[in-house]
Structure 1
Amino acid sequence: MQVVSAAEVARYLTWEGLIKRLHTTFVNGVESPPRHHHAMYRPDGEATMLLMPAWETVGYIGVKMVNVFPQNAQHNLPAISGLYLLSEGKHGQPLACIDGSELTRRRTAAASALAAKALARQDAETLLVVGTGKLAPMVIEAHASVRPIKRVLVWGRSVEKAAAVANAYAERFDTQVVGNLQSAVAQADIVSCVTLSTEPLIKGEWLVPGTHVDLIGAFRPQMRETDAECLRRADVFVDTYAGAKGEAGDILQAIEEGAFRFEDIKADLAEVLLGARPGRTAEDTITLFKSVGASLEDLAAAIEVWEAINE
């Protein structure tokens, strides 16, 4: 069995290759049972273990184990860590143990970029990144691979961390640290949220026509990055219906508040990519993509790494 390091994942998972692989996997589909979600109560706060299996009907088999420790920010450590076990499909023999943290970062950003390719305006040039964790650089790179991003605004609770993200990309883009979210949202063509917030950060009244909102961070029902008005004003799309119904806090809390219905979701990503349902319908439409992560994305990324390394 081959061990694939984080550096190798970063090397072999190109944005073009990964986004193309995700597109194919969403269209073709895989078997992906609901992920196992286990709360773990630690001395310094609650953590989460996720187990995410998926397999092709004829082909690869995989499962990811992820530990989510929000309190790691206090120790300057990543909030998310894990590993992915990829097996061949004929006899079920393990092929590779792949660094799960880098795999997750890249497939998460790539899935949002794939959605933005279908939902964001083609001339989207300004990206607002809300959050400064390990995913922030990934969404910058991924979105820039599908849209002509020229300007990147970065907001974070820590000005120092926001500056670090902005400075890292200052040679490629016109970057700026922003302190006023309302003003920043008004300037953005794409708003990408990558936080572990449990309170709304983005308000619907701030959104301007034509904006695409990308929600990545809230992966549990009690978490959210937007208020209900954002969903009420937008055409809402999700990565999968099952994930949205079980874990998308932005959607579930808006439903509880009576401002949204599950039936108001326009489509999941597969339906848009297949052409079964439309994506963006007008230049001034506000679109919103809510992702909680899907095991098919991990399987697609793991296959892409494995085949790229062994081609």
Structure 2
Amino acid sequence: MPVQPSSLTAGALDATATRACLPWNALADEIGALLRDDTVSVPARTVLPLPGGGSLFVMPATDSQVAMTKLITLTPANAGTHRPAIQGDVVVFDVLTGERRLVLDGPTITARRTAAVSLLAARHLAQKPAGPLLIVGAGVQGLAHLEAFVEGLGVTEVWIASRSAASAQKLARHAATVGAQAHTVTDADAALPHCPLVAVCTPAQAVVLSAPPRADAFVAAVGAFTENMAELSPSFCHHVAAHGRIVLDSDDARYEAGDLLQAGLDANPLPTLGQLVRNGFPPATGPVLFKSCGWAGWDLAAARLAMRPHPAGATHPAARTTP
């Protein structure tokens, strides 16, 4: 049987094009809509170890109109090289025809949907959403959370802590381009009293926050996504559990949130963002820790938004409009 020419190129979006179709506020809104959608189905993700310490992630999800799978590799050994640590794609299909509609840049999807989930949580759970904001970790997620919180929450002052002074300075310069005043600090714990917003975005290879947060703090911790990873100390987690509340991004975090599990906390009773979106957000009292481990539902929300027309009205190549 002759092989038909592939139409992959027509529906493939590079990192720049993928970013352009996922504005921060629209993506946060789409994530909220997905959490209210009873047709969404998200099986457990598969993580396969690779030689050399890397991992292959297979993350499918679907709703009544869109099916997608994210295929990405995480290669920690690429840190400090010209190769990114996260590589891969999100492939989007029409569930009615089975046709492939889009191929999106996987690392861009991962960065933007993670920060947009934090943005959605902060909208509802942050007592002082305008900041100042402390970002711990000046990599891809630090950049994404900076942009999301500046655009989505109106943050104008940012404190940046990173083990790399050069990375911290680079992110501070970027903050200026999006309208925020930035300071770099060497001690993240010392900055906590000054910042009611905190985004912890490290590789989670070591604890970076141990001091208790402010009583009105909202802390989004996104770096640790396995039981063996942690960026928050047990004392930090216990303080929030005793004086405020902990919210999970999804049910999967109950067995993936290394920060909480290593602190000996029982994650089973903790509410998820989806439960709060559906049932209502309680009044804010004490610090809030939003523990995010990642979920294919967030990628599905990004795929749903990407399938819609550009703001100017044009539709992406090979894509259809979803109502």
Q: Establish whether TM, by shorter chain, passes 0.5.
A: yes
Query: In structure 1, what is the equivalent of residue 246 of structure 2?
Result: 236
Query: In structure 2, what is the equivalent of residue 105 of structure 1?
Result: 111
Query: In structure 2, what is the equivalent of residue 28 of structure 1?
Result: 37
- Per the alignment, in what secondary structure is the counterpart of residue 246 of structure 2? strand
Give the aligned residue type for 1:177: T
Taking the aligned partners of 1:214 and 1:49, their CA distance within structure 2 comes to 25
The answer as to 2:275 corresponding to 1:268 is no
The answer as to 2:294 corresponding to 1:293 is yes
| Aligned with residue 188 of structure 1, among 183, 187, 195 | 195
Return 300-309 or 184-193, whichever deviates more. Answer: 300-309
Taking the aligned partners of 1:102 and 1:123, their CA distance within structure 2 comes to 25
- Per the alignment, in what secondary structure is the counterpart of residue 80 of structure 2? helix
The answer as to 2:281 corresponding to 1:278 is yes
Report the structure number with the largest CA radius of gyration. 2
Taking the aligned partners of 1:185 and 1:71, their CA distance within structure 2 comes to 31
Q: Size of the alignment, in residue pairs?
A: 297
- Per the alignment, in what secondary structure is the counterpart of residue 41 of structure 1? coil
Contact 1:120 1:280 in 2 (8 A): no
> After superposition, where does 1:97-246 map in structure 2 within 5 Å?
97-171=103-177, 172-203=179-210, 205-234=211-240, 235-241=245-251, 243-246=252-255
The answer as to 2:262 corresponding to 1:253 is yes
In structure 1, the gaps of 5 or more residues are none
Return 16-25 or 246-255, whichever deviates more. Answer: 246-255
Contact 1:129 1:140 in 2 (8 A): yes
| Aligned with residue 16 of structure 1, among 8, 25, 38 | 25
- Per the alignment, in what secondary structure is the counterpart of residue 205 of structure 2? coil
What is the TM-score with the length of structure 1 in the denominator? 0.91
- Per the alignment, in what secondary structure is the counterpart of residue 63 of structure 1? strand
Compared with structure 1, are the counterparts of its residues 230 and 124 closer, same or farther at alpha carbon in structure 2 (3 Å cutoff)? farther
Taking the aligned partners of 1:50 and 1:198, their CA distance within structure 2 comes to 19
Q: What whole-Å deviation, never above 9, does each CA across 1:242-289 have from its counterpart, x for those lacking one?
A: x2123211122112xxxx222452x10011111x2534523xx10000
Q: What whole-Å deviation, never above 9, does each CA across 1:186-206 have from its counterpart, x for those lacking one?
A: 211111011112322111x33
The answer as to 2:84 corresponding to 1:78 is yes
State the identity as a percent: 26
Give the aligned residue type for 1:262: A
Query: In structure 1, what is the equivalent of residue 55 of structure 2?
Result: 48
Taking the aligned partners of 1:219 and 1:6, their CA distance within structure 2 comes to 24
Shift of 1:76: 4.3
Taking the aligned partners of 1:93 and 1:35, their CA distance within structure 2 comes to 23
Give the aligned residue type for 1:200: V
Q: Where do 4+ consecutive residues of structure 1 move more than 4 Å?
A: none
Contact 2:122 2:129 in 1 (8 A): no
| Aligned with residue 39 of structure 1, among 42, 45, 49 | 49
Query: In structure 1, what is the equivalent of residue 4 of structure 2?
Result: none
Contact 1:212 1:286 in 2 (8 A): yes
Give the aligned residue type for 1:281: A
Contact 1:198 1:222 in 2 (8 A): no
Contact 2:229 2:258 in 1 (8 A): yes
Contact 2:109 2:302 in 1 (8 A): yes
What is the TM-score with the length of structure 2 in the denominator? 0.88
Compared with structure 1, are the counterparts of its residues 199 and 123 closer, same or farther at alpha carbon in structure 2 (3 Å cutoff)? closer
- Per the alignment, in what secondary structure is the counterpart of residue 22 of structure 1? helix
